Amino acid sequence: MGRSIDRGSGVLSECDVTRRVAHGVGGAAASSTAVSQVHPIRVSPHRGVISISAYAYRDCDIGPYNEVSISVPFTLDRSVSWFAALGGRGVGEPQTFILHLPVTTEIARDAGVEFAGYPKFLAEIAFEKISDWLTCRLSDEGRYILNLSGRRVDLRPAPRARTHVFTERNGRLLRSEAITSERDTGTSRRRRDARRELGDHPIAEELRALRLGRAIAVGIAPSHQVILTPVLEGLAV
């Protein structure tokens, strides 16, 4: 059985270009994720993509909670460029490797760790609406990790979509699926519509070491539903 989730207001997603190949981006992805089959999508031979998303779960089998996902879009066993990925050439359905997944409740943390080895930990995640901006602030025991903001943009109906979500546990690459539907989304590729600040937490330093460049896209989805499946496949690393 999958889990049916209504992701409430306050959903931000930012794709960022790194200025060097690191942390699951390009050649260093394998060393950062310890999974050689993971080939992060690149925008150039030395630039890759990392995704930072923030969610407010309003209605869920395990109760409401907030979550931030830091992940790497990738392909299995072979490399594909970002431009090919945007055009849907040679990549199939989206695949992402989860690096960090902080949440705000113990049950969300424990269920995720047991469910599929998700790298979850308890954190403080707060959303705020200021004028036409939606902001998410992430902290861990008072230590500031990051602040992610997106300007409100026009919304359009989005089709049903499937994303393959990967984690690594006990020497195996685990695959689940997230199926999204009933959603309106807005996306902007204008640099001025996205803001990001990093704090002094080790995860912030990890991101800072990537020399993150400009955001190549920011998306907002005020409401949509997700079914998250159990682990469907385990691949030897």
pLDDT tens readout for residues 63-109: 999 999 999 988 886 666 555 655 555 556 888 999 999 999 999 99
If one compares 182 and 20, the residue with the highest pLDDT of the two is 182
Average pLDDT of span 27-35 = 42
pLDDT beyond 60 at 174? yes
**Which residues have a Cβ under 8 Å from the Cβ of 226 and sit 6 or more positions away?**
3, 4, 5, 6, 7, 178, 179, 180
Residues with Cβ within 8 Å of residue 204, at least 6 apart in sequence: 144, 145, 146, 198
Residue 39 tokens, joined: 């080939």
Strand order in the sheet with 124-130: 124-130, 133-140, 143-151, 194-198
Backbone angles phi, psi at 209, to 5 degrees: -65, -20
Q: Which residues of 134-146 are buried (b: 16+ CB within 10 A; e: fewer)?
A: bbbbbbbeeebbb
If you average pLDDT over every residue of the chain, what do you get? 81
What count of other Cβ atoms lies within 10 Å of the Cβ of residue 112?
21
Ordered by start, the domain boundaries in the chain are 8-156+184-220
pLDDT digits (tens, 9 = 90+) for 106-154: 999 999 999 889 999 999 999 999 889 999 999 999 999 999 999 988 9
pLDDT at 214 over 70: yes
* CB contact set of 160 (below 8 Å; sequence gap of 6+): 179, 180, 181
Residue 50, phi then psi, degrees to nearest 5: -130, 145
pLDDT (average), residues 195-213 = 93
Ranges 161-165, 174-178, 207-211: which has the least confidence:
207-211
Model pTM?
0.85
Which tokens sit at 55? Answer: 């969610």
Please report the pLDDT score of residue 23 as a whole number: 32
Q: In sequence order, what DSSP letters do the residues of 46-82 get, joined into one string?
A: TEEEEEEEEEEEEE-TT--EEEEEEEEEEEESS--BH
- Report the alpha-carbon distance of residue 94 to residue 91 in Å, rounded: 7
CA distance 188 to 181: 20
What is the average pLDDT across 208-222? Answer: 86
CATH class, 8-156+184-220 region: mainly beta
